[in-house]
């Protein structure tokens, strides 16, 4: 037998022919024309070097080889169908799979930590590898992560699929019990020493400085750190103040107090990003749906 000539459609045709022992009925079962099925039967005869089906007065009958093939063929095709069925469905309760997610420390603390805790209730054997954001687009292209969380402005117009999953605003934070006036005045705000986040160490300026400059003011930025969590830690241990994402500030309510900024500062949107090749993968699609639903309620 020359198995290089074999394909799945031919095996499905052989299965139908052996089940029906009638070319017309088998063609109808396969939604093929009778000439098309006859052509496939000719190819099968060539591959197996056997007639497979022999004309009789009542139609056709199977040859000895065809009879021997019928049971193992059915089992093989049933295994193939089961494999396809498993690939197209995802059972979280019994799944053993590793998901990769890249996210900033802000997303890790505010979203992923509570999400993973909840996830293991419905998917106890699923493992999640959480990575810091370094080269998220390259990680997605290589398949090192299944999902990346980035600011929406970083992915708009790219080739990646993405979904905006949350909006965040900035709120002021100070060391616990260091701010008792009730209202942060502009005078006190610009006189204070500030800490900001500069992930790539690009300087001591952010969106707050743009907003202040628009009204002719400046502030004192004393420290620039690489992450929001480090910024919160710096505020909690010093007289520095900062504007932090509101969700993150809420996670540290026992260590910092909050205040409304004395001027409006633009917040940001977070997008869940994934590669096109994983878009239809059942397990990855399930993960994205769970993450989107969780973000919508937190």
| Spatial distance between the Cα atoms of 216 and 204, rounded to a whole number of angstroms | 18
Question: How does pLDDT run across 53-104, given as a tens digit for each residue?
Answer: 998 877 788 999 999 998 888 888 877 776 665 656 788 999 889 999 999 9
> Where exactly are the structural domains of the chain?
3-88, 98-168+269-296, 170-266
Measured CA to CA, the distance from residue 221 to residue 243 in angstroms comes to 12
Burial of 63 (0-12, 13-18, 19+ CB in 10 A): middle
What does the pLDDT look like over 208-267, one tens digit per residue? 999 999 999 999 999 999 999 999 999 999 999 999 999 999 999 999 999 999 998 889
Per-residue pLDDT, 228:
93
pTM of the entire predicted model: 0.69
Residues 161-210: pLDDT tens digits? Answer: 999 999 999 999 999 887 655 578 999 999 999 999 987 778 899 889 99
Give the range among 85-89, 101-105, 107-111, 156-160 with minimum mean pLDDT: 85-89
CATH architecture of 3-88: Orthogonal Bundle (1.10)
Residues 6 or more apart whose Cβ sits within 8 Å of residue 227: 104, 105, 106, 197, 199
Q: Which residues contact 201 (CB under 8 A, 6 or more apart)?
A: 224, 226
Instruction: Indicate the CATH number of 170-266 among 3.20.10.10, 3.40.50.970, 3.40.50.450, 3.40.190.10.
Output: 3.40.190.10
Decide: residue 37, CB within 10 A, 0-12 exposed, 13-18 middle, 19+ buried. Answer: buried
Question: Does domain 98-168+269-296 match CATH 3.40.50.300?
Answer: no
Q: How many CB atoms lie under 10 A from the CB of residue 239?
A: 11
Q: Work out the average pLDDT over 147-166.
A: 90
Query: What does the pLDDT look like over 3-45, one tens digit per residue?
Result: 555 678 888 999 889 888 888 888 988 888 999 999 999 999 9
Give the per-residue pLDDT at 82. Answer: 66
Question: Is 170-266 the same fold as 98-168+269-296?
Answer: yes
Checking if the pLDDT of 1 tops 60, the result is no
CB-CB contact of 238 with 229 (8 Å): no
Report the phi/psi class of residue 21: left, alpha or beta, with left for phi > 0 and alpha for psi in -120 to 50: left
Q: Which of 289, 285, 290 is nearest to 87 (CA)?
A: 285
Q: How confident is the model at residue 158 (pLDDT cuts 50, 70, 90)?
A: confident
Share of the chain above pLDDT 70, in %: 94
Is the distance from CB of 180 to CB of 205 less than 8 angstroms? no
pLDDT at 134 over 90: no
CA-to-CA distance for 29 and 25, rounded, in angstroms?
6
């Amino acid at each position: 037998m020359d198995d290089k000539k074999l394909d799945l459609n031919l095996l499905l045709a052989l299965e139908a022919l052996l089940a029906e022992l009638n070319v017309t009925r088998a063609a109808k079962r396969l939604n093929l024309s009778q000439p098309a099925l006859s052509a496939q039967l000719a190819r099968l005869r060539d591959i197996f070097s056997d007639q497979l089906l022999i004309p009789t007065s009542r139609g056709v009958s199977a040859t000895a080889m065809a009879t021997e093939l019928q049971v193992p063929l059915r089992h093989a095709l049933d295994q193939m169908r089961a494999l396809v069925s498993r690939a197209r469905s995802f059972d979280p309760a019994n799944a053993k799979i590793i998901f990769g997610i890249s996210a900033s420390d802000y997303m890790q603390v505010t979203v992923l930590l509570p999400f993973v805790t909840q996830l293991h209730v419905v998917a106890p054997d699923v493992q999640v590898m959480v990575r810091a954001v370094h080269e998220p687009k390259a990680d997605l292209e290589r398949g090192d992560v299944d999902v990346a969380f980035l600011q929406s402005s970083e992915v708009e117009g790219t080739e990646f699929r993405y979904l905006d999953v949350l909006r965040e605003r900035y709120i002021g934070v100070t060391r616990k019990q260091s701010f008792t006036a009730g209202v942060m005045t502009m005078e006190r705000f610009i006189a204070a020493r500030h800490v900001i986040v500069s992930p790539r160490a690009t300087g001591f300026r952010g969106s707050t400085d743009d907003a202040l400059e628009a009204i002719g003011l400046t502030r004192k930025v004393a420290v620039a750190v690489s992450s929001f969590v480090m910024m919160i830690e710096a505020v909690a241990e010093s007289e520095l103040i900062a504007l932090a994402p509101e969700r993150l500030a809420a996670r540290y309510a026992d260590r910092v107090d909050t205040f409304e900024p004395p001027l409006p500062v633009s917040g940001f949107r977070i997008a869940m990003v994934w590669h096109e090749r994983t878009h239809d993968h059942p397990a990855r699609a399930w993960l994205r749906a769970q993450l989107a639903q969780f973000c919508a309620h937190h």
